[in-house]
Amino acid sequence: KCRTGPLDIVFVIDSSRSVRPFEFETMRQFMMDIIGSLDVGPNATRVGVIQYSSQVQNIFSLKTFFTRADMEKAINSIVPLAQGTMTGLAIQYAMNVAFTTQEGARPLHKKIPRIAIIVTDGRPQDRVTEVAIQARNAGIEIYAVGVQRADMNSLRAMASPPLEEHVFLVESFELIQQFGKQFHDKLCGVDMCVEQEHGCQHSCVSIPGSFYCECNPGYKLNMDGRTCSPIDACADGRHGCQHQCVSARGSYSCRCRAGYYLNQDKRSCSLIDYCSFGNHSCQHECVSIPNGHYCRCHSGFTLQPDARSCRATDLCNGVDHGCEFKCVSTEGSYRCVCPEGQQLQADGKACSKCGAGHVDLVMVIDGSKSVRPQNFELVKQFVNRIVDLLEVSLHGTRVGLVQYSSRVRTEFPLNKYHSADEIKKAVMEVEYMEKGTMTGLALKHMVEHSFSELEGARPLSHNVPRIGLVFTDGRSQDDISEWARRAKESGIVMFAVGVGKAVEEELRAIASEPVEQHFSYSADFTTMTHLVENFKLNVCPEEGKGETEIRSPCECEALVQFQTNTVAILQSLTEKNILWARSLAQMTARLEDLEKQIATKK
């Protein structure tokens, strides 16, 4: 057996038409004899076989088989190609494919010899000199074996130096098997690890004519090529430990900081849940921290000096206040407030709705594909929040809805529904259109159709405000300027709402004057609900004025109401003072009577 160390050997076999069938059989046997003398295996010698004629065929690669039985079975199943003799093409294939790490060759830094054994019986039909030089420069040691009619010059051009050790010419195929024994001695040589003092600290690996040192697992070879040092497996930073890496002779283990434990993946760490021990006594919440825990109160509560119990500080978060708009906590109590322009109702919780006037409101919503289905559902919720502000009826506020993308569709006109519930139900049943963003076309449809008397708009002579609210999330694919201008010229008060990638310039072009009060923007769909309050005051006009305006809490009605309430409180206090004074007088009179009675008895 060849015991001088592992090799990567590839047989390059000529199967051109000049090689007769019985001659090819001797070549099979030659390969099997060589393989039979080798110590084959994944960590020993690896063997591959390719045959060539006018083309190259891979029989098996260096990574395919690791037993002699499997290799011999594959060699016996070879069918000769029986065409031309393209030896240069075969050398090119061996260099670019057969001896790559992808095909099973060990990396060059392991210093495992790469050996190509070329067996041919004729003159190559292509050039071999240049490609052979490239192969040798790539680290491949080439043995050239010629049989019978082989061209000696071609053999010498292919083989590695020294030529006397790498070029062989056999007179006939019958003699190639006998030559195989001599070739085995050339290939294996002597065990250099035995013949000389190698000086390797751990182990010596013999290769033809030389040797190299290897280290045991967990160690690396030092620069002197002989001694070994332990590998710090943590040093390369690829250990994946979340907290700490502990190196141990080529391996490593992960360790967690105090207060954490190692998870099942042996890399990540989790905080020890001290709250789960059940002895924290926290009234509301227990929060685990490294090496302990602390107590935390719910929002609106304050942690007490005992660091465990909680007391309410924000009654708005601690009780069911029922405020329609907003709850404001006060010392030991709370009160409800309404948005600017609305008054708190008698129940102290509800706010006045838009019942002071009549409005014809058409909402034009963007249904393009950039909106996406889940966001379109949020748009419909936004529309219904607007409807909740309005007193919808046949003779009060009327609402219409238009959706647009690459085309425009009236979802329902102004005269379709006469109650908020009907409108909200119809809104939730609207189907998403997708496709493009033709905002200009939508404005044209709104002006020409949506605000026509045929679709339910009251005549202009009735002085009912016409309000258009356009909702979009991106740049229009057509011109909006002309129909935005026509809408405003026709008496429609225009509001523009933009979300996400909406273009501010277009929103301003749509909005009525003053622009700042008639356009709004939100960064994304999930945060746009606050825009409802921005429109609440502008969508609710005072009765009879025929236009929208902001209602100030300091206007006459509010001042009169404040004065009335103040006078009522003062009158109540005055009445209580009068009663108290009368009671005091009565008590004084009775005391005087008692004094007189006592004096008489004396």
The domain segmentation of the chain, as residue ranges, is 7-187, 360-538
Vertex 522: Cα angle to 518 and 526 (nearest 5):
135
Alpha carbon distance 419, 440 (integer Å): 30
Burial of 294 (0-12, 13-18, 19+ CB in 10 A): middle
b/e map 143-155, b = 16+ CB within 10 Å: bbbbbbebbeebb
In the numeric block, which tokens belong to residue 283?
């009234």
Q: State the pLDDT at residue 235.
A: 80
> pTM of the entire structure?
0.38
Residue length, the chain? 602
Do 7-187 and 360-538 have matching folds?
Answer: yes
Bridge pairing between strands 46-52 and 56-60: antiparallel
Strand boundaries in 89-138, DSSP class E: 114-120
Between helices 373-388 and 420-428, what is the axis angle to 10°?
180
Sequence-distant contacts of 37-41: CB under 8 A, at least 24 apart: 37/1, 37/2, 37/184, 37/188, 38/1, 38/2, 38/7, 38/9, 39/1, 39/2, 39/3, 40/66, 40/67, 40/68, 40/71, 41/66
Name the one residue in this structure whose structure tokens are 């070329």: 118
Query: C-alpha dihedral over 507, 457, 450, 466, to 10 degrees?
Result: 0
Alpha helices in 274-405 (DSSP H): 315-318, 373-388
In the numeric block, which tokens belong to residue 277?
């021990």
Q: State the pLDDT at residue 364.
A: 95
* 3-state class percentages of the chain: helix first, strand second, coil last, to nearest 5: 35, 25, 40
Say which residues have a Cβ less than 8 Å from residue 486's Cβ, sequence separation at least 6: 443, 447
Q: State the pLDDT at residue 551.
A: 39
**CA–centroid distance for 286 within its chain:** 32
Query: How far from 432 is each of 101, 367, 429, CA to CA, in Å?
Result: 55, 6, 10
Q: State the pLDDT at residue 574.
A: 58
CATH of domain 360-538: 3.40.50.410
- Domain 7-187: top CATH class: alpha beta
Query: How far from 464 is each of 412, 459, 547, CA to CA, in Å?
Result: 20, 8, 8
Low-confidence spans in the chain with pLDDT less than 70:
1-5, 173-191, 208-209, 250, 300, 318-319, 331-332, 339-343, 352-357, 527-534, 536-586, 601-602
AA identity, residue 358: H
Q: State the pLDDT at residue 404.
A: 94
Closest C-alpha to 565, from 350, 349, 348: 348
Alpha carbon distance 475, 481 (integer Å): 13
Q: State the pLDDT at residue 129.
A: 95
Alpha helices in 258-396 (DSSP H): 315-318, 373-388
Alpha carbon distance 578, 571 (integer Å): 11
**434, 477 Cβ separation under 8 angstroms:** no
In the numeric block, which tokens belong to residue 104?
């099973």
Say which residues have a Cβ less than 8 Å from residue 24's Cβ, sequence separation at least 6: 15, 80
What is the enclosing helix (H) or strand (E) of 9? strand 8-14
AA identity, residue 338: C
Dihedrals φ, ψ of 442, to 5°?
A: -65, -40
Radius of gyration from C-alpha coordinates of the chain: 48
**357, 542 Cβ separation under 8 angstroms:** yes
Name the one residue in this structure whose structure tokens are 């301003």: 508
